[in-house]
Amino acid sequence: MYHASLKMAPFEALYGKKCKTHVSWDKIEDREIIGLEILIEMEQQVKMICEHLKEAADRKKNYADLKRVDRKYELGEKVFLQVKPKKISITFSKATKLSAPYVGPFEINEIINPVAY
């Protein structure tokens, strides 16, 4: 199974070689890597995996930044507060999934910093 972030299969990332399936059981390896060669190969593999994961994280960040909107509120504006349904102490019903995901409206009385009101 190919992993897009690693650009290889997880088995290959972990063990440094492709997984042998029933199709490849009849093939006999010509040589076996031992000692220093395997350490060098594993170091290269780890560096490559780190690079691929960084690229994947950058792609995800760029995609998330496209959808990000900086909101600025003024004094006196009314806003709703988003809360998790399980954390709402106002409702005591058993059907928390049906409770409102927002509470409020609340009026902004003070601006502490750009992200805290």
Q: What is the pLDDT of residues 56-102, one digit of tens each?
A: 999 999 999 998 888 888 888 898 888 775 555 555 555 666 667 78
Predicted pLDDT of residue 29:
57
Whether 105 has a pLDDT exceeding 60, the answer reads yes
pTM: 0.45
Predicted pLDDT of residue 70:
83
Predicted pLDDT of residue 86:
57
Q: What is the pLDDT of residues 25-56, one digit of tens each?
A: 455 555 555 677 777 887 888 888 888 889 99
Following DSSP, what letter does each residue of 25-59 receive, concatenated?
A: TT---S----THHHHHHHHHHHHHHHHHHHHHHHH
Predicted pLDDT of residue 60:
92
Helix or strand or coil: residue 64?
helix
Give the up-direction half-sphere exposure of residue 68: CA atoms within 13 A in the CB hemisphere.
7
